[in-house]
Amino acid sequence: MGNPLLDVQHISVSIDEKQVLHDVSLQIGKGETHVLMGPNGAGKSTLGNMLLGNPVYHLDGGKIIFGGKDIDGEKTDQRAKDGMFLSFQNPLEVPGISLETFIRSSLQQRTGEHVKLFQFQKDLKAAMQLLNMDESYASRDLNVGFSGGERKKSEILQLLMLNPSFAVLDETDSGLDVDAVRTVSKGIEEYQKKRDGALLIITHSTKILESLHVDFTHVLVKGTIVKTGDGALVQEINEHGFEQFLGTGGSEAHE
């Protein structure tokens, strides 16, 4: 691949002095959709968090190059400003800040410009409609009292409004019912179309991928990528599970 947007080179990652990822390499080009699958405890969330620079994880070796820049040492907010986004597996409640204010502040940080209120509210309303989110959520405190499904929608809403060039979706479909998965999937599709953004979808079930176009699939087992294929690999795993890949990979990871 020529100049990938994201170039992960042989990284090893640990948390609390325990190694979780071993010699992981990955390249994601502009506009590509990659899927990262694997059994529980493989280290999938670790990868997502590491890309965004979560300080609890430690980069023991290797490089992470984003947009041609070595981002090791760059703080999380700088990476976000560079165009990265992480949809969290368990989005936190942040009392005292409304969802709307939060998104507007984030936008302001990204663009460095004052956000025009009228256009912003129009865009927000449209995005919430697409995601079947009631308007009232905009003025509620960020994730406070939101059900699991609503929190995930809140993450995808932020994805649509912040328009990053690269988004990591960490187990976005976990805990969602059938309808919610479909809605969230619609949101992801919208992002793919509108932005032509690169995606790394982390999941261990395949429901959410059914209507999405997938370019590459990677299987992570015990902290190592044991197989890379195209979209068809997803179907294969759907039918046969991860059995064939177990027994390979490094030590037990902490997700």
Partner 1 sequence: MNSSWEREAVRLMSDANDSGKTQVNDIDRSIYDFRYDEKDFYRNDPGLTEEIVSKLSDDKHDPAWMKEFRLKSLAIYNELKLTNWGPDIGDLHMEHIATYVRPNTKMQGDWKDVPQDIKDTFEKLGIPEAERTSLAGVGAQYDSELVYHNVRDEVAKQGVVYTDFESALWGPYADMIREHFMHLVTPRDHKFAALHGAVWSGGSFVYVPKGVHLTFPLQSYFRLNAKGAGQFEHTLIIVDEGADLHFIEGCSAPKYNVANIHAGCVELYVAKNAHLRYSTIENWSKNMYNLNTKRAKVEEGGTIEWVSGSFGSHVSYLYPESDLVGERARAEFTGITFAGSGQNLDTGAKMVHKAPHTSSVITTKSISKGGGISTYRSAVYIAKNAAGSKASVSCQSLMLDSNSRSDTIPAMEVLTDDVDVGHEAKIGRISNEAVFYLMSRGISEEEARSMIVSGFANPVSKELPLEYAVEMNNLIRLEMKGTL
Residues sharing a CB contact under 8 Å with residue 52, sequence separation 6 or more, in sequence order? 76, 79, 80, 84, 86, 168
Rounded Cα–Cα distance for residues 101 and 140 (Å):
10
In this structure, the number of other CB atoms found within 10 A of the CB of residue 91 comes to 19
Q: Does 254 bind partner 1 (CB under 8 A)?
A: no
Stretch in the footprint of partner 1 (CB under 8 A) among 17-25, 53-61, 122-130, 197-205: 53-61
DSSP 246: B
Q: Does 116 bind partner 1 (CB under 8 A)?
A: no
Q: Which is nearer to partner 1, 14 or 87 (CB)?
A: 87
Q: Does 211 bind partner 1 (CB under 8 A)?
A: no
Q: Does 141 bind partner 1 (CB under 8 A)?
A: yes
In this structure, the number of other CB atoms found within 10 A of the CB of residue 87 comes to 23
Q: Does 202 bind partner 1 (CB under 8 A)?
A: no
Q: Does 95 bind partner 1 (CB under 8 A)?
A: yes
Rounded Cα–Cα distance for residues 212 and 192 (Å):
9
Rounded Cα–Cα distance for residues 158 and 99 (Å):
9
Q: Which is nearer to partner 1, 116 or 193 (CB)?
A: 116
Q: Does 120 bind partner 1 (CB under 8 A)?
A: no
Q: Which is nearer to partner 1, 20 or 162 (CB)?
A: 162
Nearest to 201 by CA among 32, 72, 77: 32
Among 6, 26, 42, 52, binds partner 1 (CB under 8 A): 52
Q: Does 86 bind partner 1 (CB under 8 A)?
A: yes
Rounded Cα–Cα distance for residues 142 and 135 (Å):
14
Interacting residues with partner 1 (CB under 8 A): 52, 54-56, 75-77, 79-81, 84-86, 88, 91-92, 94-97, 102, 105-106, 108-110, 114, 141, 158, 162
